[in-house]
Amino acid sequence: MTVARGRRRVRGMTLVELMVGLAVGLFVTLIAIAVFVSTRTLNVVNSAGARMGENSRLAMDLLQDDLRGAGFQGCHARTATPPESVLDPVAALNAGFLDGGSAGLAGHRGTGSAFAPALPGALAALPSALAPLADSDVVSVRVPADRLAFGLTTTMPSTSAAPQVGASTPGSTLRQGDIVLIANCMTGTIFQVTAADPIATGNLEHDVGGSFVPGNASADLKQRFRGDAAVYRLQTRHYYVAPSQMHPGTRALWRLTVPGDGTPQEMAAGIDRLALSWGVDADGDQAVNRYVGADGVADWEQVVAARLQVLAATTRDGVAQTPQTVDFAGSDVTPGDRRLRTVLTEVVALRSRAP
C-alpha cells in the first residue's frame, strides 16, 4: 500500500503584516517617549517649585522673625522710658547702625532708580554687584544678636563705670567692638564695648575715642544699673534684593549685619523683589490707622505692624512654557524669562510696639 506524504507549506510575513507590526511598534515607542518626557518635565517642574517654596519660606521666616523683634528694649514695655544711646550718632548712621530710640526700624522704598528715603552709607557704599536693586524695598531692623542675656554681677559704682557680667559665661559670644543694650524693666542704654576680652573678664568697658566704629560719644550710661539689669548684644540687619552669586542670572535675598565685617551674605535664592508697607498708629492706641510706604512714614516710633510681600522665582529657567505675569504690590510684573513665580504676603506685628 502506498502512503501519500503531505508537504507542509512554510509561510513568512506579508508586507502588510510587516507594516502593521512596524506601525504598532512605532506607536508604542512614541507613547513611551512621550510618557518619559512628560514625567521628566513634571519632575523638573515639581523639583523647581519645591525649591522655590523652600527659598521663599526661608526668606519669609527671616524677615518675619526680625521684624517682630525690631526695636528690642529688654524686659521693659513700650510705655517705659525708651533706651538712650551713647554712640556717636553721625558715625552710627554712616556705619548703618540704627542709633538709639525705641524704633529700631527703618525702611527704604525702591522707586526703580533710587530709594526713598535714601540708603544709609553702609548700603550705599556697597559695590554694584552686591548693592540693593532699586526696584525692590529695603528694610533695616535692630534686633538681639542671640538669645543669651548677661546679668550684672555687681551694681555699677557710678554711671560711667564699666558694667560687670559673669566671666567665661558658657555660650558667650561677646567681643570687643560689640554694640550692647544694658537694660532693666524701666530704662536702658546702648553703648559699644571697648574691652579687649569681655568674654574672659566680663568687663564691659565703654571708653570714648579710639578706632571703634561707630564709637562712644560719652562714657556716661545715664543710670547706675544694678543686679536686676541685663546686657544684650545688638545688631542692625539690613535686608534687600541683589543679584545672586550662587545662581548667576537670578536674584536673591541678602543681609548686611552691623557690626560686622562689612560683607553682606546671600540668605535665600530666587527672591526677585520685596515690598513692604508700614502700619502707622497715628492716635496711640496700638492699632493700625493706615498703611503707607517707607517714604510716607513721618515717625518710625508710630509703626506697629508691617505688611510684607515677597516675589519668589525658580532659580531654573525654562520651567514655564511662556513668561508669567504676576500681580505684585498692586501692579503686574512680566519678566522676560520662563521661570515659575509666586507671591507670599504676611502681616507682621512688632512685639516692641505692644502695650
Residue 274 lies in a domain: yes
CA distance 66 to 69: 5
- Of the chain, the percentage scoring pLDDT greater than 70 comes to 90
**pLDDT tens track for 250-304:** 999 999 999 988 899 999 999 999 999 999 998 888 889 999 999 999 999 899 9
Residue 15 within any structural domain of the chain: no
Least Cα distance to 200 among 175, 217, 226 occurs for 175
> Does the residue 2 lie in any domain?
no
Q: Is 250 exposed, middle or buried (0-12, 13-18, 19+ CB in 10 A)?
A: buried
**pLDDT, tens digit (0-9, with 9 covering 90-100), for 56-93:** 999 999 999 999 999 888 876 655 677 889 999 999 98
Does some domain include residue 204?
A: yes
Q: Does residue 41 have a pLDDT over 90?
A: no
Give the count of beta carbons closer than 10 Å to the beta carbon of residue 181. Answer: 23
Secondary structure letter of residue 101 according to DSSP: T
Amino acid, res. 53: G
Residue 131: pLDDT band (50, 70, 90) is: very high
Confidence at 31, pLDDT banded by 50, 70, 90: confident
Read off the pLDDT of residues 196-255 as tens digits, 9 standing for 90 and up.
999 999 999 999 988 999 999 999 999 999 999 999 999 999 999 999 999 999 999 999
Per-residue pLDDT at 7 exceeds 80: no
Identify the CA nearest to 273 among candidates 327, 350, 337, 349: 327
Question: What mean pLDDT value characterizes the chain?
Answer: 88
Give residue 332's Cα distance to chain centre: 24
Q: Is residue 265 part of a domain?
A: yes
Q: Is residue 267 part of a domain?
A: yes
Range of the domain at 329: 50-353
- Comparison of pLDDT for 124 and 29, the residue scoring more: 124
Which pLDDT score, from 0 to 100, does residue 179 have? 96
Q: How many CB atoms lie within 10 A of CB 43?
A: 10
What residues contact 241, with CB distance under 8 A and at least 6 apart?
A: 132, 133, 136, 251, 252, 253, 254, 271, 272, 273, 274
pLDDT at 2 over 60: no
Angle ∠(172,177,179) on CA atoms, nearest 5? 75
Burial profile 207-228: b = 16 or more Cβ within 10 angstroms, e = fewer? ebeeebbbbbbbbbbbbebeee
Structure confidence at residue 40 as a pLDDT band (50, 70, 90): low
Residue 348, in any domain of the structure: yes
Number of domains in the chain: 1
> Which residues are CB-contacts of 307 (< 8 A; sequence separation ≥ 6)?
276, 277, 278, 279, 291, 345, 346, 347, 348
Question: Distance (Å, rounded) from C-alpha 62 to C-alpha 41?
Answer: 32
Give the count of alpha carbons within 13 A of 69, CB side only.
Answer: 18
Report yes or no: 60 and 344 within 8 Å, Cβ to Cβ: yes
User: What pLDDT score does 139 carry?
Assistant: 96
Q: In 3-state terms, what secondary structure has residue 127?
A: coil
Reply yes or no on whether the pLDDT at 5 is more than 60.
Answer: no
Confidence band for 44, pLDDT divided at 50, 70 and 90: low
**For residue range 172-193, what is the model confidence (pLDDT) as tens digits?**
889 999 999 999 988 899 999 9
H or E segment to which residue 347 belongs: strand 341-349
DSSP states along 19-71: HHHHHHHHHHHHHHHHHHHHHHHHHHHHHHHHHHHHHHHHHHHHHHHHHHTTT
User: Which CA distances in Å does 254 have to 112, 132, 263?
Assistant: 18, 8, 10
Query: Of 41-50, 94-103, 266-275, which gets the smallest average pLDDT?
Result: 41-50
| pLDDT beyond 80 at 15 | no
> Whole-model pTM?
0.86
Is there a domain that residue 319 lies in? yes
